[in-house]
Every structure is written in C-alpha cells, then in structure tokens.
Amino acid sequence: MTRFLRQFAVPVYALIGLTLLSPSAIAETPFPTIHEPSDESLKCIHPEDEMRRNHMKYILHERDETMHEGIREEPESLANCINCHVEPDEKGEIAGIDSDKHFCNACHQYAAVQIDCFQCHADRPQKFINRNGHSSSITQQLKRTLADNAGVNE
C-alpha cells in the first residue's frame, strides 16, 4: 500500500508543481506551422476540415482514375495541390519536400507520416523547377525561346 502511494505521489506532485509554476508550458504543445496560400481569395477544393482528414483518399482515387481512365479534369489532381499550395516565401525561397516548411511535409513530419510520392512527383509548381542539368541541346532551347517570343513584336 505504501509502495503504491509513493509511486502515485511523485507524478501527481510533479503535475501540481508544473501547473502552479508555469501554466503556459502545457498550453504550448507544439503544432506544425502550415503555410496557407497567400492569395486570400483561394479556397481549397473541399472544406478545410475535410481536407485535413481525407486528402489522401482524394489523391489516391484520382491517381488511379488518371492513370487508367485518362480522367484529367478532377480538381483532386496532385499537380493541382502543388500548384496552389507551394509558393516561395517572403525571401523568394521555395521549400523542398524535405523541409518542414513544405506544405505537404509540415504535418507529415509532425505526425510521422512518410510518403514516397515526391520521389517521382515534382514538389513545386513548374515555373519554379530549375532544371539546370537538363539534356536538351542549346539549339533546342534557342528555338523554344524564339517560338515563345514569336509574334511579340507584331
């Protein structure tokens, strides 16, 4: 009996002590910082709480439909999430998927979820993909630029 009491007493005292001395310590449970699109007018494809819980179901469903049936208009496209959710910070830097600043990784790191999607999928919108090592010939790039500029001065 005394043994039981002793065992019990320690955590209880500790708890009381904590609450009395630093009440804020308990309130400050660390939460992940989730970056929301800076354009306030944007809305997610479904209500926020629904997205928090079920985003994986939507993307995985969309994945199979796109691969096998060629359905491309669904808002649940992974490319679509990335286009909306990933943007540069104030310094113009864009967080990669390994960073806890990347939208998809912020919660995942916190909740110890590991996904392999970004081994293949781009983690940022196309306009921010810097493909230094790409293999197209210089002439190809030049032609592309010329084609892009065609008609500009007309």
Partner 1 sequence: MTDSTKKSTIDSSRRDFLSKAAVAGTVTIAPGLLLHSTAQAASSGNISTRPHDEDVSNKNRWGLLIDTEKCATGCTDCVDACNEENGLVSHGRPETDAQYIRKVTLKEKSTGHESSLPLMCQHCETAPCADVCPTGASFVRADGIALVDKHICIGCRYCMMACPYKARSFVHEDVENQKLTAPRGKGTVESCTMCVTRIDNGGIPACVEACTAENHNAMIFGDLNNPNSDISIALKSRGGKQIRSDLALNTGVRYQGLNE
Binding site for ligand HEC (CB under 6 A): 34, 36-37, 42-45, 48, 51-52, 55-56, 58-60, 62-63, 66-67, 76-81, 84-85, 103-104, 106-108, 111, 113, 115-117, 119-121
| Residue 92: DSSP 8-state | S
* Binding to partner 1 in span 55-84, by CB under 8 A: 63-64, 67-74, 79, 82-83
d(CA 58, CA 77): 9
> If you compute the radius of gyration of the chain from its CA atoms, what whole number of angstroms results?
24
Q: Which tokens is 120 given?
A: 């293949």
Q: Which tokens is 126 given?
A: 């196309």
Tell me which residues touch partner 1 (CB under 8 A): 63-64, 67-74, 79, 82-83, 116, 119-122, 125-126, 129-137, 140, 143-144, 147
